[in-house]
Chains A and B, each alone.
Chain A
């Protein structure tokens, strides 16, 4: 199935550093979502973006919905040890019959923080 291009694949950073990751697609999405997943658990919603150009923050996290509707980025400021995990972007298209279709996911960014 189709997937989004998410980069980087992994990041090794020092505690306190800022983090940036992004997703791009050849298709337009109406909604962009960012999730974090810990091993053996379900993805947890971090930020939801519904409008092209929208910039939304959730604590130390900031995400933007690209103007072209084909990309999104997530920034984490001043990283802390509990930020470790896998971050996924997901795009959603409207369902042709009304409502929304299933999500298309990126392959994830593994964030590893060295104390």
Chain B
């Protein structure tokens, strides 16, 4: 158990819809990272937040956004969903250095 929690575990929705994924970092970690894992693209970094502020952006689509709240939990919002957005979404947290991953949310867009 990494100490990082993610909800929900599974999410099934339709094209055009909007969903929110939630992540709680390890106790004391200020950094939260979001990743997408798909069969064709592998694990791709999306975005990082540090103590409530956006810190770095990776391959994140404009339809996707995230935020980190004062209690340090983070949410990833995915809108106007397309079939190709079906993937595993992971968050990770770190104090400094190594990142610890949550169990992921499997998103299926039908």
A33 proximity list for chain B (CB < 8 A) = 98-99
Verify if A105 is at the interface (C-beta below 8 Å from B).
Answer: yes
Tier of interface size on chain B: 20 to 34
Are A48 and B97 touching (Cβ within 8 A)?
Answer: yes
* Interface contact tally, CB-CB below 8 A: 74
Chain A: residues with Cβ within 8 Å of the partner, total of 28
B68 touches A (CB below 8 Å) = no
Max chain B CB contacts within 10 Å: which of A1, A3, A50, A107? A1
Interface membership of chain A positions 71-115, coded 1 if the CB is closer than 8 angstroms to chain B and 0 otherwise: 000000000000000001010100101011111111110000000
Contact present for A3 and B50 (CB under 8 Å): no
**Max count, chain A CB within 10 A of own CB: residue among B47, B94, B97, B106:** B97
Residue of A nearest to B91 (CB): A42
User: Would you give 11 A-B contacts (Cβ < 8 Å), ordered by A?
Assistant: A1-B45, A33-B98, A40-B106, A42-B102, A44-B2, A45-B2, A48-B97, A50-B97, A100-B31, A103-B92, A108-B42
